Amino acid sequence: MMDSLLITLMLIAVLGVGSQWIAWKFRLPAIVVMSIAGLLAGPILGLMNPEEAFGDLYRPFISIAVAIILFEGSLNLNFKEVKGLGKPVFRIVTLGAFLAWILGSLTAHYVAGLSLAVSFVIGGIFIVTGPTVILPLLRQSKLKPTPAKILKWEGIVVDPFGALLAVFAFEFILFLSSDGRDATALLFFLLAALFAVVLGIIFGKVTGWMFEAGHIPEYLKSPIVFAAVIACFIIADEVKHETGLLAVTAMGMTLANLGISSIKDMRHFKENISMLLISTVFILLTASLTTDTLMDVFRPEIIGYVLLMLFVVRPLSIFLSTINSGLSVQERTLIGWIAPRGIVALTVASYFATVLADEGFEGASLVTSLTFALVFSTVVVHGFSIGWVAKKLNLSSEGNPGVLIVGSNRFTNALAMVMRELKIPTVIVDSSWDRLNRARKAGVAHNHCEILSEQTEYTMDFTPYDYLLSATEYDSYNALVCSNLVPEFGRKNVYRLSRQNNSGDDLVDIDHTIGGIEVFSPGEGIEDLKFKLKSGYVLRKTMITERYSYEDYLQDRDKETVLLFTLKQSKQIEFFVDKREATAAPGDTIVSLSPPSKEFHKIKEKLEKKRSEKASNE
């Protein structure tokens, strides 16, 4: 084992972030990769033991990390959005969560052999479905909008309350099971919990007011949010242990519902700091496991508990809570199957394992093993089965990669119609009903919304679309759209039209700093493309074969042809870019904007052929 704390810190950071990258690269559940990396570095190979290396700092660091992760979840809890999600979501996050808590707790007691006190504490933790795990799964699996929206919001809404339910269960059961406690202790806890809520609300409102009033410069916003979350957590936790989690959740919920314009700055904070913490904390936890803990995972009672949670508790709680909710049997079956537990479940359970053990509760020593078994099993099983189950239940969106087009006009509508013919999932997004009228008449899928609006994140399902093309009449707007949606689609999948010479936007100096790849070859602005269509240009599909190669196509095409994209045989889309050398293999289809002369030549050739055939017959 390596004794140097610096080497341990290096290994934790490299393994954590490296695991996230490997998971992204190979489309694997990140938590699975992190689990394997942590177990290999810790109990299996013995390269490090973070709990020993960090000493007294280990638990405080875990606690603060849990607080920040919970703040991340609660920052997404906008009550206006929750109200608009309908009866199924409300039922699942209320009645479904309650049933999951009761059934899971009883299962832990009667099957895993834990005491009732320990069972009801971890039962509260296990109602969370891990938004840090489930959101990447939804993007990979391309579910239809209804189950995708429900699973997404269940993860976001229930995530903060799972730990809070565990906190309340712990305090109430501790009060009921301890001979030395009286009503004064319980009253103090309730007052401390109320204080934590008020403190969180005050921190949230003050932070939001300072953001909106301009009392904080842009470069200090993320650090101040970070410091405020830690301060809010520690102040409440010093008054009464465990109430710090309640305080940071209240702070996040307050900020989420203030409607302040700086909410995206805080999301920038959570996407960076929280991702780093999630990566490092999970490596910390798994690397600190002992071989005895790993061996406990294979105990019959723990295996039985995990199987019942997978095949009985989750499906039953969903089916009972969604009776007469308007969901189909297939949708209820899929939602009842998918419930991966993630970082919050493991970190909070690890925290309570120590607290419960200190209080002398029976079975507390099995909490970590039981939690790791459930987290690892659900992520692996659900992560690798969600796509297959969705297809079997006919709840998977069309498998072909889709394109989201921003801006409705003559060119984008024609492009969307060709994509529809090629069975490419396509939608046109615009904030103007007048501009969308053409798309509606053409039968093209469309969505009336402002793509940059915060509301769009909740009202529109992005999962079927792998590529973004911003093609409005405004160069600066196209650049802004691409820059904002790079995190959603990835830098290599975000495209915008070439700049227009007469648009009035001078983007030359900042072109290298903004998101979005200039698309189509040769590059032309939207006005040029619209003019070509108006002049008689047509969108042409050309199949590349063994006899008709890509080189043949390039020689035959008219020099005025604008190359748009290639639909690969694998159904991937490759847009033509001036600075990137394009290729096309047999089986690929090239879509181009061709001048009308070629169409006239083809018609002329057909007429001449018919005349010659008629003459020969005579």
Q: Is residue 515 part of a domain?
A: yes
pLDDT per residue as tens digits for the range 358-369 = 777 777 888 888
Clarify whether residues 367 and 278 are in a common domain.
Answer: yes
Annotate 236-251 with b (16+ C-beta within 10 A) or e (fewer): bbebbbbbbbbbbbbb
* Strand-pair partners of 517: 495
Residues 484 and 387 both lie in one domain: no
- Mark whether 415 and 516 lie in a shared domain: yes
- Residue 445: CATH number of its domain: 3.40.50.720
- Residue 567 shares a structural domain with residue 492: yes
Q: What is the pLDDT of residue 154?
A: 82
Residues 361 and 277 in one domain: yes
Looking at the fold, whether 65 and 94 belong to one and the same domain comes out as yes
| pLDDT single digits (tens) 109-146 | 999 988 888 888 889 888 887 656 776 677 667 787 77
Q: Are residues 283 and 426 in the same domain?
A: no
Range of the domain at 417: 402-607
Lowest mean pLDDT among 78-82, 420-424, 428-432, 519-523: 78-82
**For residues 164 and 236, is the Cβ–Cβ distance under 8 A?**
no
Task: State whether residue 207 is helix, strand or coil.
Answer: helix
Please give the pLDDT value at position 228. 92
Segment (H or E) for 561? none
CB of 251 within 8 A of CB of 204?
Answer: yes
Side-chain half-sphere CA neighbours of 273 within 13 A:
24
Task: Quote the number of domains for the chain.
Answer: 2
Closest CA to 542 of 603, 584, 597, 605: 584
- 454 shares its domain with 372: no
Terminal-to-terminal C-alpha distance of the chain: 95
Token pair belonging to 365: 């020593």
pLDDT at 183: 64
| 377 & 525 share domain | no
**Per-residue model confidence as pLDDT tens digits over 210-238:** 888 888 887 787 788 889 999 999 999 88
Please write the tens of the pLDDT for every residue from 233-257. 999 988 887 678 788 888 988 887 8
Contact 34, 285 (CB under 8 A): no
One domain, residues 344 and 412: no
Q: Please name the residues in contact with 327: beta carbons below 8 A apart, sequence gap of 6 or more.
A: 88, 146, 150, 335
Q: Is 616 contained in some domain? A: no
Report pLDDT digits (tens) over 171-223.
777 767 665 556 676 678 778 888 998 999 999 999 888 888 888 887 787 78
Residue 612 included in any domain: no
